[in-house]
Structure 1
Amino acid sequence: MDRRRFLIGLSSLALAGCEAGSWLEVPTRVYQPGMATGHALRDLKQLPEPQAVWCTDTLILGSGAAGLSAGWQLRRQGYRNFLLLSGPEWYGNGASGQMGEVPYPRGAHYLPLPSLASSHVREMLAEMGVLRGDPQALRPEYDEQVLVQAPDERVFANGVWQEGQLPQRGRSADSLAQQQRFLAQVARLKRQVGRDGRPVFSVPLALSSQDPQWLALDRLSFAAWLDQQQLTDPVLRRWLDYSCRDDYGAPCDEVSAWAGLHYFAARGGHAANGEDGAVLTWPDGLNPVLRHLQRALEQDGQQRLHQGTALHIRLEQGKPVVLCRMDAKVVRIEAQQLICAMPLHVLQHVLPTLPEYGYQRQQALPHAAWLVSSFGLNRFPEEARGVELAWDNILHEGPGLGYVVATHQWLRTAKPQHTVFTAYQALSRQGPGDARRWLLQANREVLYDMAMCDLRQVYGRMDWWRAAREVEITVRAHGMSTPRPGFLTHPGLRALRDHTGPILFAHSDLSGLSLFEEASWWGVQAANRVLGNAA
């Protein structure tokens, strides 16, 4: 990418809540995974003729966490005759990039310690050597290079860094009391069991209690629940709003109260060598986990993975037939079983009969738009006073979601010379549709200035400019589904989750929560249904 001079200060920056910028000169590229392919599928009027015909027992569409988990489960159970088609982006939201010697995430960047309920994730980590010992132990040991190192989190408030996510300095007695009251309620909810004997909140979501008393939380917004609890402190509410935008891409007045509490109360993982609440992370986010699943599919030397995109799905004599574009060739793939492990907003264009499975397009959950912006640095910028640079760095009043440091887990006596800071931003100030229309019009200069919002506030313009050497801005126009009130009883999602037959569904969209554990759960469940049909 040629070097460009950026004149920043365009009126459209109001969407991001950013102040006007200044002249900067940094080589910048914009990466838009799947956008061109998705628009082509949406606008496709006539199907091309196939140039080849392939046959397989099972075809998996999608190489994100759900698709690779489905293949992983099939392969480890001895099932051999299946193929996986990647879709437009290998690994989906778990993709990564590299600047020089430093890898970085293009999406998901951490994994909370998995609880016993997420046994499928524990088994994956045990295969990788990340989890050591018995995967079913209450407190297994984890690889120190992956268990997040201190300082893991800090928050920037009033020009000073503080430890943790929630500022403590200068708060009133009432503000601190409300914080403690909320945390005490969360602690009780972590232990709460419904009348059906299940935990109220679980990961995966499918194992949560179905007790109507607790499902009623899904009928109101998280903000409304907080109002009912008289949790009105602005500092606390700003943190909870950040938490909803971080996990769901929307503020707490748009998120289900059940989902808002799930964010805090569903995690139950422990480590023998780490604190409760710790996370697992790699320089390139979750990509190493997905690469492990990919390698597991190819251990016997068979070529099961193929680069390509599905164009159309139909049933012929009760069997799935998929028309695919693979490089310059169009291939017809005939299968006995099909696992659709792609986002539902894509699937609705590929499977015209999707409404017959109970999912109506007008029922679709909203998908939040995201920017994931990685800055390759020649050196570490000068830090403001307070605690030292952490892995996750949050601005209490910033328009974005802060930034993570790719080299944080490199256990060395001195900092490496080069690093990558990856800044996250959910475009939640407008509705998802308006945000996507804005993204189609936004040029590189505007995207750059939006990506810089949090970093500029912390480091200033000139010091950052001297440190930065290149920038990649990843645009995820449909980054994640947002669990609005009523998502738990969404009839279309329930129909897809319960469906059995030659076409199966697997994606985190089925849960309404964009989490690795949810996506991999549905992948494993779909594979188990294939295995049951093959038995």
Structure 2
Amino acid sequence: MQRRRFLGLGAAAGMAATLPACRQLEHLGIPISVLRPGMAAGHRLRDAAPLPPATREIRTGVAILGSGIAGLTAAWRLARAGHADFLLLDGPEPDGNAAAGTQDGVSHPRGAHYLPLPSLESRVVREILHEMGVIEDAPFAARPRYAETLLVHEPDERLLFEGEWREGLLPTAHVGDDEAAQHHRFMDEMARLQDARGADGQRAFAVPLALSSADPAWRALDAQTFSHWLTAQDYTAPSLLAWLDYVCRDEYGAGPERVSAWFGLHYFASRGGHAANARDGSVLTWPDGLAPLARHLRASLAPGRQLAGTAWRIEESPHGVSILASDADGAFRILADRAICAMPMHVSARIVPDMQARGFDPARHAPPQSPWLVANFLLDGFPAEAGDVPLAWDNVIHGSPGLGWVVATHQWLRAARPPRTVFTTYRALADRSPAEARRWLESASAASLYEMASEELRRVYGGPTLWRLSRAVEITLRGHGMACPVPGTLSNPGLHALRQAKGRLLFAHADLSGYSVFEEAAHWGDQAARKILAG
């Protein structure tokens, strides 16, 4: 299964107001909204704009700064442990990359939209899912039972390959014998790696990453790119390489030529989740992506534990942590005994003035961030499908620069299709440098963004059909959408230093793992909360 997990999902709603811009595309007449979470506040930090003076103070035992999955998990853990003296500062985009929207009664994701079956190591994720009722029985067994309504329904995925839709995303049955043999060899090798262990007894590849083996023999893979490893292993089949390019862009926002070989293999070899009532490789999904998980974590918080606002500066002293923040009423200061900075590393580096003294040099240690574009097309009905393979939840075009689209109403339990649906398209801007991609996103017109967001849908259904069915389009731009694990990520000393922080200021974000998925964000949020609880 290959899906867009860029949640990281762990992103804290750290820095940026969502700036909606709604206009008609003059040449099409389709209402389009452009959301830019991260841009305005992020640029204010980048440009070192003067900070406003605080006009009031708030005191608390613990301040959690950022309400992405890491911040929400930290708050959830503290609340479950009965620790009542804490505040969660939302940030400009509550829920971060797990945020969602609704158009005409159809909910849809604005970021991450599915969760793999969690492995045995992902205990905190299993704990959350069991509390939600998603895991119905045996939450910590090898094969828990999951709610049938949330396991992805069939048909779950299809691939447009050589002009025809095929089931699945790797076209093994539709290529020559030599290519098919490479497909099978690769998949057999990945299956062996799932059981591989290092000299320390740990799984070579695990989720969360922190529980993977530290054996240097395995970690040496992080010194090379995934492309280099594939070449060395004599994987040359064009269809296989195109699929792996899609996997890396889908998971990490960059192609195999940039991604660490260890992480390229980790995607396949770390899959350890199984279910009593679903086949291996199944995923959990909701119409609005991972937003229900964020809502559940947030619902555990007592009234008054959440604050709207954005943090601008964090200073630690022997006596506590001082946070300058602002909301619609102006600037204020939070004085806390301890704080958890649950924001992306490139944001933390601008808000915490002494990061280098903490062992983190932003110029050398901040993981590169891959830009993303997510677009939601509200459609009046469903376009006609060509061929015998029906519309699936996940629809991918082989060799395309885009990452396909998912159908928000796929999980709806109805006897007939609903009158309206939302198709969500994903695009990692991996065909240019991250800096160049961010510059383009900043200046691109609504028409240019629409052209990119709709490219695959127009290719499959035709521009006139898409225009006729489209009632509205919402485009979300994420200039720093997810961390990209380049070679050297595992040995990054700055990330290691922040993971080991034990002072009054702690850090929690998927960036600490070097890549962005829900499980990593939840792990680091849980770890930070446990440090608080340990005293």
- TM-score, L = length of structure 1: 0.95
Q: What code does the residue aligned with 1:470 have?
A: A
State the shift of 1:2 in Å: 6.7
Match of 2:70 in 1: 66
Q: Which runs of 4+ in 1 moved over 6 A?
A: none
- Work out the CA distance in 2 between the residues paired with 1:44 and 1:332: 19
Q: 1:38 aligns with which of 39, 42, 61?
A: 42
- Work out the CA distance in 2 between the residues paired with 1:293 and 1:393: 30
User: 1:167 touches 1:396 (CA, 8 Å); kept in 2?
Assistant: no
> Are 1:101 and 2:109 counterparts?
no
Match of 1:16 in 2: none
Match of 2:369 in 1: 367
1:265-276 alignment, distance < 5 Å = 265-276=269-280
State the shift of 1:349 in Å: 1.3
1:493-532 alignment, distance < 5 Å = 493-532=495-534
User: 1:201 touches 1:208 (CA, 8 Å); kept in 2?
Assistant: yes
> Are 1:335 and 2:355 counterparts?
no
> Are 1:141 and 2:145 counterparts?
yes
Deviation string, structure 1 residues 81-129 (Cα, Å, up to 9, x no partner)? 0000011100000000001111000000000000110010001011111
1:76-95 alignment, distance < 5 Å = 76-95=80-99
Match of 1:4 in 2: 24
Match of 1:410 in 2: 412
- Work out the CA distance in 2 between the residues paired with 1:67 and 1:442: 32
Q: What code does the residue aligned with 1:459 have?
A: Y
Structure 1 residues 170 and 49 mapped into 2: Cα distance closer, same or farther (>3 Å)?
Answer: closer
Match of 1:177 in 2: 181
User: 1:57 touches 1:81 (CA, 8 Å); kept in 2?
Assistant: yes
- Work out the CA distance in 1 between the residues paired with 2:403 and 2:22: 29
User: 2:483 touches 2:515 (CA, 8 Å); kept in 1?
Assistant: yes
Deviation string, structure 1 residues 263-316 (Cα, Å, up to 9, x no partner)? 111011111111100000000000000000000112xxx310111000111123
- Work out the CA distance in 1 between the residues paired with 2:300 and 2:206: 28
Q: Secondary structure at the match of 1:227?
A: helix
- Work out the CA distance in 1 between the residues paired with 2:252 and 2:25: 35
Q: Which structure 2 segments of 5+ residues have no match?
A: 1-20
Q: What code does the residue aligned with 1:344 have?
A: M
- Work out the CA distance in 2 between the residues paired with 1:5 and 1:501: 52
Match of 1:484 in 2: 486
- Work out the CA distance in 1 between the residues paired with 2:325 and 2:414: 47
CA RMSD between the two structures: 1.1
Q: What code does the residue aligned with 1:163 have?
A: E
User: 2:157 touches 2:393 (CA, 8 Å); kept in 1?
Assistant: yes
User: 1:399 touches 1:454 (CA, 8 Å); kept in 2?
Assistant: no
1:124-523 alignment, distance < 5 Å = 124-298=128-302, 302-363=303-364, 364-523=366-525
Structure 1 residues 194 and 24 mapped into 2: Cα distance closer, same or farther (>3 Å)?
Answer: same
Stretch of structure 1 that moved more, 26-35 or 245-254: 26-35
Q: What code does the residue aligned with 2:491 have?
A: T
User: 1:382 touches 1:463 (CA, 8 Å); kept in 2?
Assistant: no
User: 1:252 touches 1:260 (CA, 8 Å); kept in 2?
Assistant: yes
State the shift of 1:169 in Å: 4.8
- Work out the CA distance in 1 between the residues paired with 2:132 and 2:74: 17
> Are 1:26 and 2:46 counterparts?
no
Percent of aligned pairs sharing the same letter: 52
User: 2:23 touches 2:33 (CA, 8 Å); kept in 1?
Assistant: no
- TM-score, L = length of structure 2: 0.95
Q: Secondary structure at the match of 2:276?
A: coil
- Work out the CA distance in 1 between the residues paired with 2:211 and 2:51: 41
Deviation string, structure 1 residues 427-453 (Cα, Å, up to 9, x no partner)? 011110111111112111100000011
Match of 2:17 in 1: none
Q: What code does the residue aligned with 2:52 have?
A: P
Match of 1:55 in 2: 59
Q: What code does the residue aligned with 1:42 have?
A: R
Q: Secondary structure at the match of 1:408?
A: coil
State the shift of 1:47 in Å: 2.5
- Work out the CA distance in 1 between the residues paired with 2:463 and 2:162: 18
The count of aligned residue pairs is: 514
- Work out the CA distance in 1 between the residues paired with 2:317 and 2:363: 27
State the shift of 1:167 in Å: 1.9
Match of 1:111 in 2: 115
Q: Secondary structure at the match of 1:98?
A: strand
- Work out the CA distance in 2 between the residues paired with 1:369 and 1:166: 26
- Work out the CA distance in 2 between the residues paired with 1:132 and 1:263: 27
Q: What code does the residue aligned with 1:419 have?
A: T
User: 2:25 touches 2:446 (CA, 8 Å); kept in 1?
Assistant: no
Q: What code does the residue aligned with 1:503 have?
A: L
State the shift of 1:4 in Å: 2.6
Q: Secondary structure at the match of 1:407?
A: coil
Q: What code does the residue aligned with 1:327 have?
A: A
State the shift of 1:138 in Å: 1.3
Q: Secondary structure at the match of 2:191?
A: helix
Structure 1 residues 5 and 52 mapped into 2: Cα distance closer, same or farther (>3 Å)?
Answer: closer
Q: What code does the residue aligned with 1:4 have?
A: Q
State the shift of 1:413 in Å: 1.5
- Work out the CA distance in 2 between the residues paired with 1:64 and 1:397: 32
Q: Which structure 1 segments of 5+ residues have no match?
A: 7-22
- Work out the CA distance in 1 between the residues paired with 2:362 and 2:22: 42
State the shift of 1:158 in Å: 1.7
Q: Secondary structure at the match of 1:116?
A: coil
